Amino acid sequence: MPVSLVDSLATTEALAEVFSDASILRAMLDFEVALARAEAKLGVIPEAAANAIAVAANPAKVDLSTLSRGALRAGTLSIPLVKWLTEAVGSHDEAAAGFVHRGATSQDVSDTALILLLKRARVMIEDDLKRVDAALHEFSETHKSTIMLGRTLLQPAPPITLGLKAAGWLAAIRRGRERLALDFETALILQFGGAVGTLSVLGNRGVEVSQQLARDLGLQCPDAPWHTHRDRLAALACSLGVVTASLGKFATDVSLLMQFEVREAAEAESPGRGGSSTMPHKRNPIGCAITIASAHRIPGLIASYLSSMVQEHERAVGGIQSEWPVIAAIVQTTGLAASSMADVASGLTVDAGRMAQNIAATRGTIYAEKAAMLLASKVGRDTALRLLDQASKQAILQKRSLSDVLSETPAVVKHLDQHALQELCDADSYLGSAELFRQRVLQSSPKHSLNQEKKS
């Protein structure tokens, strides 16, 4: 479905559909139908009543304007919807209307509907995170020997490999996926407790109905209803925030590598993407920009959700009413970041020649650390660092290589021969354990899958 203009940079079309009016109504009515069928299976209500409820529960027949106004008056969407469903059932079967919503309370409907929406969104987010994973894994393998500047505090530092850098992006995202999987598994549970969480209307059949209802909806059945205990959803929200931030870190690095002064990597070009309305020469990091915006937006949303956790007694005033738009925004924000960076990772281009040029532009000063370590055993650490500080400044000022400057420094050539100085700027010999670390990251994989429900 088309995304509203105000949300055009805040969600994907697929996730916008998940949280659309039609989808929300369908989820709420699915709860009511499943409840009636579960109770009918257990003999709590007549099977004919369950069938009548299922027939009447058609979201296309709901007047959205009336429902929205009713929700504002009632403080919940569930009350006017249950009223509508009861009237719709009663118009064809007056006896069956008395069995609508049997044993449930309004929050049971809204909470379980939200969980059903999250179950759908889960698959979409995981599919895009899997795309990111596969693309970065391949990218890291391809560039395991592509040498580039390491950068600390945005300044040139000793060399690394692009493969290791990509493995770092991948590792953080994989850890995020694993946390997200566990928190989704915990959060996707039925809410069914009746007025105060005892299911007293159902007498001693409450647990049976809960278990059957959970099975029918494809959800876990909790040990007890959780009306004012929002910790599971809060943990999920936080995990969504962490993985979005990891995607944002990936996006930030790529956007910096795309700067004209750097030009070491770039998002793939496509018609209508990355251009400027007034400057035809520009190639903007659009996927990265959208993801970074998501990473900036989500912490405030999570903070808002956490503040709503402090709820009163068995049913809350205000906390539950604040949740739906916040949770929906958190999920859609993460989904947009995952989708955007899946596209970026799949089409990321690299200019290895430019990487080599940027290394050469440092005139070997990035190897000052290496030279200092070689000298330290001869003249002491402090003296070595002082000599390299002076030599580095001289190399930059005179636009000469660090090795040339050092070869003319008596205190250095006394301890380092010409061969050692010539080998000083060999990047391949100063990568340390980069490849081992890269391989270790790629050999690890998430232990949990967010798509586990597909197996059931």
- Catalytic positions are 276, 315
CB-based contact 244:298 (threshold 8 Å) = yes
Beta strand pairing status for 265-266 and 349-350? antiparallel
Residue 291, both tokens: 């993801």
* CA–CA dist 51, 45 (Å, integer): 11
Nearest to 118 by CA among 236, 7, 247, 294: 236
Q: What angle do CA 396, 399, 402 make, to 5 degrees?
A: 65
* CA–CA dist 368, 389 (Å, integer): 8
User: What is the distance in angstroms between the CA of the first residue and the CA of the last residue of the chain?
Assistant: 28
Q: What are phi and psi of 292, to 5 degrees?
A: -65, -40
Strand partners, 149: 159
Q: 201 to each of 198, 244, 383, how far by Cα in Å? A: 8, 43, 83
How many CA within 13 A on the CB side of residue 227?
Answer: 21
Q: What angle do CA 153, 155, 158 make, to 5 degrees?
A: 105
Nearest to 290 by CA among 123, 117, 128, 115: 128
